[in-house]
């Protein structure tokens, strides 16, 4: 990607984040802050080119705004850069936070969300009332958003606390966004995590898809899962941090679920010596409850800064969550790569004899839906044989006789086959691949920085479009990283696997950005199709199925083939 294309992406980002048209002087200043030393004349030249391409539109003398086409280009462009940008955006907002809890003035980081139903708004208030949020302070306005009448709510984001700490000379390191399990109103442990530095999707955004949270259950029964994030602070600053947190409470900014001691694991998350772990409730948690009941809601995370004095209590609060037991020992959350490594090692499929074990995903479905599901899988394979794996097997469900498992071939089997043949292969990212000319990854989540299969997240968030009509086709794929020196031998094996047992979309060249995804120097990328594509197709057609990945090994010769 050229320097000019990098500048284009940054200009589009500046315009996309602005609420009103932006002039060349402001764009030049913003670019300078991002390390691009362009004068106003150079910016005007770039803007003219973007106007001609239809990415931006001039609004009189006010400046430019980004067009829908520009937003589409921004979404697709430089996804490997977006992996870093996601975290750097939070760092920018943390730095710009000016809130002073002592005199209750300054700006705070806010999430801007929309709800389009009065009953949904009342449900959101119910969660705020239970104090399962960062703060009950909101900016509530009637609004028309995307052509629909409803309400706009700006809510305080948990990273505001990081900004306040930084203003007091205390550094924080945001580590993960995830889900916390709650039992009898007591937060017990993180059940899922995604690293802030290894994803193009904001970690909390990844976990606020439907069927991932159960916030309403926590409010009504004291059991369920809520979104939260995790950071570490220097241990020497702990006492000062506690004092600041207490001051924030007086300013109606709460949200801290747990703060540990030096080197003490918090809610199942390991904490290095010399640091202290802090878990904070997700600022958009109340909106998850509305989403759980199918209310129309649009959730945006950490999108803006807002003057604290403009925010007012949406309701009174009565805290229902109890303090967690920091001394309790909980099972630590392994990341997907460490969980899958032993399975990868056990793959013994022989590409010459076409026999042996592969890694299988097994997803569970009601028995009465099996025939329809298999019809969808077969049609999807026949329509897209280059992208969909034809292998499957029906598996008995020992826990529920009314359900059957549908096994498919996991793309991590590719790594196992290569390693079995003496070629190192490292699963790098699970991605969402938009098919086109050229095809491009639009989202990436690192296998090494996530406890959950990235492809499950894309399915839960309804991001795939494998069988949907009148929209860009988006399928599930993974990218592997293989040493450059082994490329010729690897290509022979991958050629044998492609279309036979596994779907290999592309074998990259050394240092090539493959479908907009980047691998380390002295390596090349291999893009393989996910076995969950056919499962996603079933869900797109309205059939309920419980998605499971990396469920175990299975002999390929025992599987059926469309």
Residue 190 is assigned to a structural domain of this protein: yes
Q: In this structure, are 346 and 221 located in the same domain?
A: no
Q: In this structure, are 145 and 20 located in the same domain?
A: no
Residue 523 is assigned to a structural domain of this protein: yes
Question: What string of DSSP letters covers 241-279?
Answer: HHHHHHHHHHTT---EEEE--TT--BTTB---TTEEEEE
Q: Which of 56, 77, 98 is the last residue of a domain?
A: 77
- d(CA 536, CA 543) in angstroms, rounded, equals 10
360: domain CATH number is 3.30.70.1360
Residue 95 is assigned to a structural domain of this protein: no
- d(CA 307, CA 105) in angstroms, rounded, equals 8
Residue 241 CA neighbour count, 13 Å, CB half: 25
Residue 100 is assigned to a structural domain of this protein: no
488 — phi, psi (to 5°)?
A: -60, -45
Residue 324 is assigned to a structural domain of this protein: no
Q: How many domains does the chain have?
A: 3
Asked whether the predicted pLDDT for residue 18 surpasses 70, the reply is yes
What is the token pair recorded at 173? Answer: 């390191």
13: domain CATH number is 1.10.10.10
Q: In this structure, are 140 and 73 located in the same domain?
A: no
Q: In this structure, are 257 and 172 located in the same domain?
A: yes
- Where in 56-172 does DSSP place strands (E)? 56-59, 63-66, 107-115, 137-145, 148-156
Q: What pLDDT is attached to residue 77? A: 59
- d(CA 41, CA 24) in angstroms, rounded, equals 8
Q: Which of 276, 294, 313 is the last residue of a domain?
A: 313
User: Angle of helix 118-129 relative to helix 285-292, nearest 10 degrees?
Assistant: 130
Closest listed residue to residue 427, CA positions, set 540, 336, 356, 539: 336
Q: Which of 197-201, 249-253, 500-504 has the lowest mean pLDDT?
A: 197-201
Q: What pLDDT is attached to residue 510? A: 83
Q: In this structure, are 59 and 145 located in the same domain?
A: no
Residue bearing tokens 């801007």? 112
Structural domain for 383, as ranges: 340-561
Q: In this structure, are 446 and 510 located in the same domain?
A: yes
Q: In this structure, are 499 and 538 located in the same domain?
A: yes
Q: What pLDDT is attached to residue 84? A: 61
Q: What is the pLDDT of residues 429-473, one digit of tens each?
A: 999 999 988 788 888 999 988 999 999 999 999 999 999 888 889
- d(CA 249, CA 167) in angstroms, rounded, equals 17
Number of H helices, E strands in the chain: 17, 24
Q: In this structure, are 64 and 199 located in the same domain?
A: no
Q: What pLDDT is attached to residue 498? A: 87
The 10 Å Cβ neighbour count of residue 458 is: 26
410, 360 contact by CB (below 8 A) = yes
Residue 88 is assigned to a structural domain of this protein: no
- d(CA 216, CA 292) in angstroms, rounded, equals 8
543 — phi, psi (to 5°)?
A: -100, 130
153, 221 contact by CB (below 8 A) = no
- d(CA 118, CA 139) in angstroms, rounded, equals 16
Q: In this structure, are 240 and 170 located in the same domain?
A: yes
- d(CA 361, CA 413) in angstroms, rounded, equals 11
Residue bearing tokens 């806010």? 110
The 10 Å Cβ neighbour count of residue 411 is: 31
Q: In this structure, are 235 and 377 located in the same domain?
A: no
Average pLDDT estimate for 196-215: 86
Identify the residue with better confidence: 9 or 204. Answer: 204
Residue bearing tokens 């259950």? 217
Q: What pLDDT is attached to residue 521? A: 84
Residue 331 is assigned to a structural domain of this protein: no
Q: Residue 110: enclosing H or E segment and its boundaries?
A: strand 107-115
Antiparallel, parallel or unpaired: β 560-561 and 391-396: antiparallel
550, 340 contact by CB (below 8 A) = yes
Q: In this structure, are 140 and 60 located in the same domain?
A: no
Q: In this structure, are 43 and 177 located in the same domain?
A: no
- d(CA 442, CA 454) in angstroms, rounded, equals 13
Q: What is the pLDDT of residues 70-87, one digit of tens each?
A: 887 776 655 655 666 567
Residue 326 is assigned to a structural domain of this protein: no
Asked whether the predicted pLDDT for residue 213 surpasses 90, the reply is yes
């Amino acid at each position: 990607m050229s320097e000019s294309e990098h500048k284009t992406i940054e200009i589009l980002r500046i315009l996309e984040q602005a609420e009103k048209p932006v002039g060349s002087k402001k764009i030049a200043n913003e670019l300078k802050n991002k390390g691009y030393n362009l004068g106003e004349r150079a910016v005007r030249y770039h803007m003219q080119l973007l106007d001609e391409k239809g990415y931006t539109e001039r609004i009189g003398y006010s400046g430019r705004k980004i067009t829908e086409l520009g937003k589409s280009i921004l979404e697709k462009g430089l996804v490997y850069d977006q992996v870093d940008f996601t975290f750097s955006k939070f760092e920018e907002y943390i730095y710009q936070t000016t809130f002073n809890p002592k005199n209750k003035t300054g700006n705070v980081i806010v999430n801007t969300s929309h709800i389009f139903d009065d009953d949904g708004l009342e449900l959101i208030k119910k969660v705020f009332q239970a104090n399962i949020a960062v703060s009950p302070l909101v900016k509530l306005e009637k609004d028309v958003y995307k052509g629909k009448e409803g309400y706009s709510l700006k809510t305080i984001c948990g990273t505001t606390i990081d900004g306040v700490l930084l203003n007091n000379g205390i550094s924080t390191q945001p580590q993960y966004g995830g889900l916390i399990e709650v039992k009898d109103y007591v937060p017990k442990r993180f059940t899922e995590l995604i690293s802030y530095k290894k994803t193009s999707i904001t970690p909390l955004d990844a976990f606020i898809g439907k069927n991932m949270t159960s916030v309403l259950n926590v409010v009504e029964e004291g059991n369920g899962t809520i979104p939260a994030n995790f950071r570490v602070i220097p241990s020497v600053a702990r006492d000062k941090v506690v004092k600041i947190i207490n001051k924030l409470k007086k300013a109606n900014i709460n949200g801290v679920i747990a703060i540990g001691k030096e080197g003490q694991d918090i809610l199942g998350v390991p904490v290095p010596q010399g640091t202290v772990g802090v878990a904070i409730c997700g600022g958009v948690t109340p909106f998850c409850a509305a989403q759980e009941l199918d209310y129309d809601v649009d959730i945006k995370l950490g999108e803006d800064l807002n003057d604290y004095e403009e925010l007012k209590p949406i309701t009174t609060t009565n805290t229902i969550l109890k303090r967690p037991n920091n001394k309790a020992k909980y099972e630590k959350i392994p990341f997907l790569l460490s969980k899958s490594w032993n399975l990868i090692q056990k793959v013994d499929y022989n590409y010459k004899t076409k026999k042996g074990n592969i890694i299988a995903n097994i997803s569970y479905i009601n028995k009465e839906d099996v025939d329809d599901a298999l019809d969808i899988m077969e049609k999807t394979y026949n329509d897209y044989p280059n992208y969909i794996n034809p292998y499957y097997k029906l598996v008995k469900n020992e826990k529920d006789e009314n359900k059957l498992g549908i096994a498919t071939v996991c793309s991590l089997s590719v790594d196992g086959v290569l390693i079995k043949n003496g070629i190192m292969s490292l699963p790098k990212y699970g991605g969402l691949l938009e098919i086109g000319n050229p095809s491009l990854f639009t989202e990436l989540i690192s296998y090494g920085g996530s406890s959950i299969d990235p492809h499950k997240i894309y399915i839960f968030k309804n991001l795939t479009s494998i069988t949907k009509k009148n929209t860009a086709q988006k399928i599930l794929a993974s990218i592997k990283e293989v040493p450059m020196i082994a490329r010729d031998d690897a290509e022979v094996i991958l050629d044998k696997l492609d279309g036979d047992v596994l779907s290999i979309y592309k074998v990259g060249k050394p240092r090539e950005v493959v479908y907009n995804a980047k691998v380390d120097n002295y390596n090349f990328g291999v893009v393989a199709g996910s076995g969950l594509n056919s499962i996603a197709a079933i869900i797109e057609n309205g059939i309920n199925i419980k998605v499971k990945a990396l469920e175990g090994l299975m002999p390929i010769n025992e599987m059926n083939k469309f």
